[in-house]
Chains A and B, each alone.
Chain A
């Protein structure tokens, strides 16, 4: 089903705004916010593969983000004395996170819905605890104080330093993540994921190898987080366990749900809102998160299907409501 016309216009307008954005931003701080939007939208697109396409509720997605960040830090900092170039490290990180996706996927294959959610939640917590505690007896992760002095991305002799430069790097990655998502959705495995989401037993009787397809979803989703993790580490120039708390998993999941699960543009809009709104509400100072939480509740009550959903899916949801 083709997206409605207005949605195309929204997409083009967003794309244009994204490219000229830094020129219009009032200061460097807001360019930083925009870079964060791109980073989180990429993560949300990765989680969308697992939750939106394959229908597997993953509450520990931040673990892959954390693993990605730390693997980047291991390979490009003084921590182990390795200073591999950016374009060598990122592919390694992507492979490492994809493998970690397989490792968490394999034991959870028989689980669905709430049971899967609990196990992935545990995986997220375990990862956090490992990051915080693996500084003894051998110092691997740097413990609570993390790893500092991480190399910035260097592209052909040019080293990134300004937020604007990071922004365009992250924007390019987001564009790639969007293209990858579109292609995945219409690929053979993409159809297998959607069939599993709709009805796993029926998918199986169609001759879909549901085991392989689910593992592919976990690995693919995790690899997006690998890219995001590399970016975070190289941008912050440091990583700490506190970057990868459970609330981050929920935050990313909220981006996916808010925009309309499975809808790619919606996921980007969700990420934009969830990164921007807490900044906008800084005027409310300590009531900031309260206002933010209230807004999310209102949004979900008014539009339970998400901000952007194509018409057919909306009709169907209304049918179910009746």
Chain B
């Protein structure tokens, strides 16, 4: 479904991604692991066209997307839950969700109503707070809102950048349960995480990114089992 081949991305003169090759197949949950500054967020931004790769190719459903503007990529069915949530603080919960459907202005009203319903079923809390301003929500609720907002674009591929960051352990489990539910409902997921153990426990496969290169990839089970990988790349003792 998604294939990155030798992707190189620069920020000015700095080469952040040196050679990223990875693949996400339809229906999977794939986990991208790595320490700080390994290039995880940059990979996400490159896929969505927020930053442009300087070499290599990004294909989505067998078509190149690395020269397309972000709005065209979102229209094709890729959407992102950004790092640190980035909800619209001075818009209501409802307005935030409506912004998620920005590229779908031609969708019939009934279809949008279904999507609101789907998000409110996944996150009943958002339904209770739909007229509240986004900025007044708690951290966990904001994360739900960020996920719900991304789902409003009806993505076939959902990119999630550090969904567990800053959340209490109980909430982390809840977020990963939701990720599984969304996946079962038919959305393919690529998730970036520092919390490797939890992420791998729900993923099919995992890639480890270090210094802008993919250094390891394997099934999630194998990655979890391999002690040397845990020590070397996942920052665990």
Interface residues in chain A, defined as those with a beta carbon under 8 Å from any beta carbon in chain B:
1, 188, 191-192, 194-195, 198-199, 201-209, 312-313, 315-316, 319-320
Contact = CB atoms under 8 A, between A and B. Distances in A.
Given A194-B88, A199-B86, A206-B103, A1 B74 contact: no
B105 interface: yes
Contact of A201 (B86, B95, B136): B86
B48 interface: yes
A199 B88 contact: yes
B135 A316 contact: yes
A203 B91 CA distance: 12
A313 B95 CA distance: 14
Interface residues of B, number: 31
A195 B71 CA distance: 14
B154 to A, nearest CB: 12
Contact of B82 (A195, A205, A313): A205
Contact of A198 (B75, B79, B88, B153): B88
B135 A202 contact: no
Contact of B50 (A194, A204, A209, A316): A204
B89 interface: yes
B102 A319 contact: no
B223 interface: no
20 contacts: A1-B131, A191-B99, A192-B102, A194-B91, A195-B102, A198-B89, A199-B89, A202-B86, A203-B99, A205-B74, A205-B86, A206-B99, A207-B73, A207-B75, A207-B153, A208-B71, A208-B102, A209-B70, A209-B71, A312-B92
6 nearest A-B pairs in the assembled complex, by CB-CB distance: A207-B74, A207-B103, A202-B86, A198-B88, A207-B71, A206-B102
A313 B153 CA distance: 27
Given A205-B48, A208-B71, A316 B89 contact: yes
B70 A205 contact: yes
Interface in B99-137: 99-100, 102-103, 105, 131, 133, 135-136
Contacts, number: 76
Interface of B: 48, 50, 69-71, 73-75, 79-80, 82, 86-92, 95, 98-100, 102-103, 105, 131, 133, 135-136, 149, 153
A1 B92 contact: yes
A43 to B, nearest CB: 25
B69 A209 contact: yes
A313 B90 contact: yes
B86 to A, nearest CB: 4
B109 to A, nearest CB: 15
Nearest to B101: A206
B17 to A, nearest CB: 18
Contacts of B91: 194-195, 198
Nearest to A262: B90
Nearest to A319: B136
A262 to B, nearest CB: 9
Nearest to B73: A207
B226 to A, nearest CB: 34
A312 B133 CA distance: 7
B102 A191 contact: yes
A316 B136 CA distance: 7
Given A1-B92, A316-B90, A206 B74 contact: yes
B50 A201 contact: yes
